[in-house]
A = this chain, B = another copy of it.
Amino acid sequence: MSFADMSVSPSNPSISSSLSGSSLLVAWQLKGKTVLIVGGGEVASGRIEAVLSADAKIIVLAPAKGLHPRTKRFIELCPDRVTYYDRRFSGPAELYKMDMVLTALDDPSSSRQIVELCREQRIPVNAADIPDLCDFYFGAQIRDGPLQIMISTNGSGPRIAALLKSKLSGALGGYEGEAITRVGELRERLKERAPGIGGAVSRRRMKWMSQLCNEWDMEDLTQLDHAMIARLLDEGWELNRVPSLRDLGGKPKVKQGKDNPQSTIQDLNAILHSGSTVLPATLGFIAGGVSIALLLMYHRR
């Protein structure tokens, strides 16, 4: 059940219990920020990757002998963004100008010490494998361009999170990231044409964008190139309507049955109950005919 779907009324006894026990899932912005990663093993390498993807600068503190090959490769690959020091965490001075700290150590007491120093300076901190010390947890992630999906089990089952990641990846069509990119581009062009934050124009923009996303197939949104965006704004936004892809000279993609998780089943059911039974039925008809013909011919002799 999602937050948005939850009906709230004092007479609903399920409300109080659902209003607890979860985390606040957020997409943290790290552009222009600096993140300290203490440790260089396999877990640290995953942290480096996630933090690099979020456009942060990184300081890695770890003795060279414990570096995971992936950690080494990130340090080599991004020398302008990853600064590596071949030593352990030495004290509070390491935290100077840090915006976030992640520890990935096999030594809980060192982690605890670092976390306490971070708390004093209000620096958000995560200590791998020690949930009690964390301001925030990580989860399994799916990424496709601007689309990011996080699966969090609130610390109860990292392996299940990984399994759910495969399942949910399989439910995606592979075009969602591109559709989001194109819609983001359209939104930017629309804001140039009808600027303003808050108020009536903001609401009208939001409503028109929503209507477009509802009426078009998600896959068709990937066809929104510069020319089509211009036409969509001229012939849609300006006239307060949502033209179809065909109206704009586009051709809807052949449905792959991916947009709706049910549709694959429906498509195959349709095949089962129509087209694909033609072949076995036809072969059966021929086989039956030939058999009876041979039988009758045999009897006639």
Expressed in whole angstroms, the minimum distance between the Cβ of A54 and any Cβ of chain B is: 4
A187 touches B74 (CB 8 A): no
Contact of A176 among B24, B145, B164, B291 (CB under 8 A): B164
Expressed in whole angstroms, the minimum distance between the Cβ of A132 and any Cβ of chain B is: 10
Q: Which residues of B contact A281 (CB under 8 A)?
A: 280-281, 283-284, 287
Expressed in whole angstroms, the minimum distance between the Cβ of A220 and any Cβ of chain B is: 12
B198 touches A108 (CB 8 A): yes
Residue A25 CB within 8 A of the other chain: yes
Q: Which residues of B contact A148 (CB under 8 A)?
A: 22-23, 25, 139, 151-152, 154
A181 touches B156 (CB 8 A): yes
Contact of A170 among B162, B171, B276 (CB under 8 A): B171
Given A10-B77, A30-B23, A296-B293, residue A156 in contact with residue B129 (CB < 8 A): no
B27 touches A28 (CB 8 A): no
The 9 closest A-B pairs by CB, nearest first: A284-B284, A288-B288, A156-B184, A170-B261, A171-B171, A23-B27, A285-B288, A288-B289, A25-B150
Residue A90 CB within 8 A of the other chain: no
Contact of A29 among B23, B78, B147 (CB under 8 A): B23
Q: For residue A156, which residue of chain B has the nearest CB?
A: B184
Stoichiometry (number of copies) = 2
Expressed in whole angstroms, the minimum distance between the Cβ of A159 and any Cβ of chain B is: 4
* Total interface residues in chain A, CB < 8 Å: 131
Residue A49 CB within 8 A of the other chain: yes
Given A24-B50, A28-B26, A287-B288, residue A156 in contact with residue B141 (CB < 8 A): no
Residue A52 CB within 8 A of the other chain: yes
A53 touches B284 (CB 8 A): no
Interface residue ranges of A183-233 to B (CB < 8 Å): 183-184, 187, 197-199, 202, 209-210, 213-214, 218, 221
**CA of A124 to CA of B258, assembled, Å:** 38
A176 touches B160 (CB 8 A): yes
Q: Which of A59-67, A236-244, A247-255, A265-273 sits within the interface?
A: A265-273
Expressed in whole angstroms, the minimum distance between the Cβ of A26 and any Cβ of chain B is: 4
Mask of A34-73 contacts with B, CB within 8 angstroms, 1/0: 0000000000001001111111100000000000001001
Q: For residue A297, which residue of chain B has the nearest CB?
A: B296
Expressed in whole angstroms, the minimum distance between the Cβ of A283 and any Cβ of chain B is: 6
Q: For residue A107, which residue of chain B has the nearest CB?
A: B198
